[in-house]
Amino acid sequence: MTRDSSSISPIFYLQDVISDVTLDSFSPLPLIADANESQGSGIIHDSGFTQEDFKQYKPVVYSNTIQSMVAILRAMPNLGIGFGNNDREADGKMVFDVVSRMEDTEPFSEELTMAMKRLWVDTGVQECFGRSNEYQLNDSAKYFLDDLDRLCKKEYMPTEQDILRTRVKTTGIVEVHFSFKNLNFKLFDVGGQRSERKKWIHCFEDVTAIIFCVAMSEYDQVLHEDETTNRMQESLKLFDSICNNKWFTDTSIILFLNKKDLFEEKIRKSPLTICFPEYTGAQEYGEAAAYIQAQFEAKNKSTTKEIYCHMTCATDTTNIQFVFDAVTDVIIANNLRGCGLY
């Protein structure tokens, strides 16, 4: 999920984060983020969400859903795509009217639900959705728009998966505390956008471990703030600057190549050459994922620093639990080494 949308209990965000981990008397360990906007990817939650937490996410789900539809509708004329049925013009106007009245965080009326359902199955809307790499669209759009019947119910309450899929832009730095395997963590959720980085990049000198998160599925997308720049290329530049920063000479780098599920689906239809023109391998998950990993690892100019890479799916809590177990082992070893005990 995406930070900036809540103030809920202990949570680990896999995108756009800098985390600070304190192992009782050991030294602090920040964990860093990728280059792009807050991407809503996944969590480790120590004690589970409370009922109040779930309630807090209802307006976020409503807004994410209707804003996804708005993004598609706005992109259609730019891409030269019309509605399959001209009657959908009125449905689209209803959606825009709700947003213009700033009612997008309110429960869906029956009329709005039916309008969005008709829009979602329209051939023109689906064609535009299929070209979502050409404009800015939340990757949770299909998840929510496929489930409008559930979301519109009066008794609707977000599920854990709903929360994991939500997205809200992060600005500034937000600190969250949580525990994992008897270790105390301080997480700093940051804005990944260019305009936000100057607020946090200088804050984490002399640390022992960094987690850097990259959305694999964004290899064919551009930045929100600069639509001439590929998102993964921007992430590579930021990774290069952090991996080889003089303040991080003795810092272990843990690389999360996240959203592997979306990448596996997308790579079959959208070529990796969009991001890496020199790529000549197969358009299949294994070879393409390995190539992306190699591009990031190649940025490491140190002969002694090791990059610990994990392919992750942050909406799969079992996968993230397994990965974070491995990450914790690296963190503990680094702290022991720093204390001369390893």
Residue ranges of the annotated binding site for Mg(2+) are 170
Structure tokens at 164: 């994991």
Q: What SS3 class is residue 308?
A: strand
Q: Are 180 and 327 in contact (CB under 8 A)?
A: no
Phi, psi angles (nearest 5°) of residue 244: -105, 15
Residue ranges of the annotated binding site for GTP are 139-140, 164-170, 189-193, 258-261, 314
Phi, psi angles (nearest 5°) of residue 232: -70, -35
Q: Are 222 and 192 in contact (CB under 8 A)?
A: no
Phi, psi angles (nearest 5°) of residue 233: -65, -40
Residue ranges of the annotated binding site are 139-140, 164-170, 189-193, 258-261, 314
Strand partners, 252: 209
- What does the H/E/C string look like for 124-188? HHHHHHCCHHHCCCCCCHHHHHCCHHHHCCCCCCCCHHHHHHCCCCCCCEEEEEEEECCEEEEEE
